[in-house]
Amino acid sequence: MQSTIDLINRRVRDAVASAFDLDPATVDPLVRRSQDDRFGDYQSNCAMGLAKRIGQKPRDVAEKIRAALVIDDLCETVEIAGPGFLNLRLKPGYVAMELATIENADAPHDRVGTLPTSEPVCVAVDLSSPNLAKELHVGHIRSTVIGDCVARVLEFAGHDVHRINHVGDWGTQFGMLLAYLRRTQPDVLIDPVKLHLPDLEKFYVEAKSFYDSDENFAKTSRETVIELQRQDPQVMAVWRAFCNESLRHCHEAYDRMDVRLEDRGESYYREMLPDVVRMFEEKSLAVESNGAICVFPNRDRFKTRDGDPLPMIIRKSDGGYNYDTTDLAAIYHRIEKLGAKRLVYVVGMPQKQHFDMLFAAAGLIGWAGEDVSLEHLAFGSMLGPDGRPFKTRDGGTIKLRDLLNEAVDRARKVVTESEKSNDLDAAMVEEIAEAVGIGAIKYFDLSHALNSDYRFDWDHMLAMEGNTAPYLMYAYARIRSIGRKANVDYDSLDTFAPIVLEHGSEIKLGKVLLRFAETVDMVARDLKPNILTDYLFDLSKAFSTFYDRRNGVRVIDAEPESLKLSRLRLCDLTARTLRIGLGLLGIRTVEKM
């Protein structure tokens, strides 16, 4: 099933081209979803811009577009409003016909009638990216959850996606950590596989404290860095064991959150770093400054506080490399080796200048041409309820595993206090609590605009009403319950039976269902998960009105049988759309709540 907005765009584009003898490729139909249903379902604003272009009055231009517009099969009479807006309202018959073409579910391949892109590309999504010296904490939530959602949507859209976890596994701090590891667990030197660190944070704090207080240990740590850089076999074996143990901690959280990643540490690129410098030097794009090798991506754009051009150092004066060099190597690898045409970095807003300069340098050297998109998906901070950085009561950083545990504990309480909890056995309560607790954290994060900070709020997050995961998950479970009450297997419904949209609530629900395809397309294009959360909330509200005895229609006891079947199919389509939509957010649905 083609996206309705794409179909309308094509029709309006053809009408403009025909009415004014223009090349369709030069026409932007400017079709958008209407913000107010009173004025239709979609609106085109193209007449105003075109009027300036050809020197005619906007309403006259709109009249000519309407006269040339072949859209009777989709829309009711097209209205012209204001200075020249074209308002389009879908015909219920068209909506019903489109929904009726959707086949029954074929999990896990159900797409609810949406089509994959006709132009798939390779995409590299850089997400989560922790430093292996410490455990995951609340600061990693946004990059992990947003990145996972973006990857899921792009995969669903049909693109080849690499989910890259660019972990910090190399650098001077590892000299300290490995030296302390050899000091406290000497058996690891004999058998690195035996390494086990129950608390990474505690280990790091102890090592850092010892480093700061003991000059002999600090000297040993610096010597260990040199051994690591020279790839001493014994040191490398301990380093690998430490990285594996750190990643084990990370993946316990990733697995619990159902997040898939390709671990690719900074160390992966270390052999490429001299070549990165060489490539810039060979194109005369690198200059020497006080012994360091620097690149100036854009002298007019990037300035120091004194107004001088801001350099990007790609080799330090001591011959070492930094994260600028590593990130350039990663870009080169993703474009040249993976074949990525779209590189997405899910990293907080404080790193904006770094990525602006990084992307400018990649364009300067020619790695990222016009066919490659480099995108910094910047996001704001998750704050505590008081509007300050989220900390423990004693001022420490909250570990991610502790936050997940608390979310599940709170969700369990919500579930057990529900009036329907008597219908759930202990195992089902735990399954629901896990899904709802973790789903609530994800949804609360994704429902906020990326570039805004937000305050963490347990009560809002776990509320059974409003734009929350529990509300949407309950809506899904409720629809599944309707099927059981009707003694109907949704997957076996007759797909040849017509869908009838007559009541206002049916028409509204049908139109919202039809918007799913364009919503997925929009999220895949703009990478804004809150567009999807807003859509799913709209869908749930539309279904609630549809199923309401006073404002909606009868379903289980509807007559005749053909009408009951039509409405049950709407129930099924809504549940499937909720399940798939929540799945794109990384949220698992449950059959009962």
| pLDDT over 70 (residue 395) | no
Q: Decide: helix, strand or coil at residue 178.
A: helix
Q: Count Cα neighbours of 276 within 13 Å in the Cβ-side half-sphere.
A: 31
C-alpha distances in angstroms, 277 versus 108, 274, 314, 360? 46, 5, 7, 16
CB 86 within 8 A of CB 66: yes
**pLDDT at position 21 over 90:** yes
Q: In the prediction, which pLDDT does 389 show? A: 84
Secondary structure (H, E, C), 406-464: HHHHHHHHHHHCCCCHHHCCHHHHHHHHHHHHHHHHHHHHHCCCCCCCEECCHHHHCCC
Let me know: does 439 contact 473? Beta carbons within 8 Å. yes
Q: In whole angstroms, give the CA distance from residue 292 to residue 458.
A: 50
Q: pLDDT tens, 248-293? A: 999 999 999 999 999 999 999 999 999 999 999 999 999 998 899 9
Query: What's residue 107's pLDDT?
Result: 61
Q: Which residues pair with 389 in a beta bridge?
A: 383
pLDDT surpasses 70 at 323: yes
Contacts of residue 386, Cβ cutoff 8 Å, sequence gap at least 6: none
Q: What is the CATH number of domain 400-584?
A: 1.10.730.10
Do the domains 400-584 and 269-376 match in fold?
no
Cis preceding linkage at 560, omega within 30: yes
Q: What is the pLDDT of residue 448?
A: 97
Q: Determine the residue type at 476.
A: Y
What pLDDT is attached to residue 423? 79
Mean local confidence (pLDDT), 322-342: 97
Q: Strand 342-345 vs strand 373-376: parallel, antiparallel, or unpaired?
A: parallel
Peptide bond into 186 cis (omega under 30): no
Half-sphere exposure of 4 (CA within 13 A, CB side): 27
* Fold for the domain defined by 269-376: Rossmann fold (3.40.50)
**Could you say which of 3.40.50.720, 3.30.470.10, 3.30.1360.70, 3.40.50.2300 is the CATH number of the domain covering 4-90?**
3.30.1360.70
| DSSP letter, residue 38 | G
Per the CB < 8 A criterion, the answer to whether 214 and 179 are in contact is no
| Helices and strands, counts by H and E, the chain | 21, 14
Q: Residue 287: which H helix or E strand, with range?
A: strand 286-289
Name which of 199, 169, 170 is nearest 184 in CA terms.
199
- pLDDT, average across residues 546-567: 96
Other C-beta atoms within 10 Å of 448: how many?
A: 18
Q: Which pLDDT does position 72 carry in this prediction?
A: 96
Domain boundaries, the chain: 4-90, 173-266, 269-376, 400-584
Residue 98 has pLDDT above 90, yes or no: yes
Amino acid code (one letter) for 103: E
If 0-12 CB within 10 Å is exposed, 13-18 middle and 19+ buried, where does residue 485 land? exposed
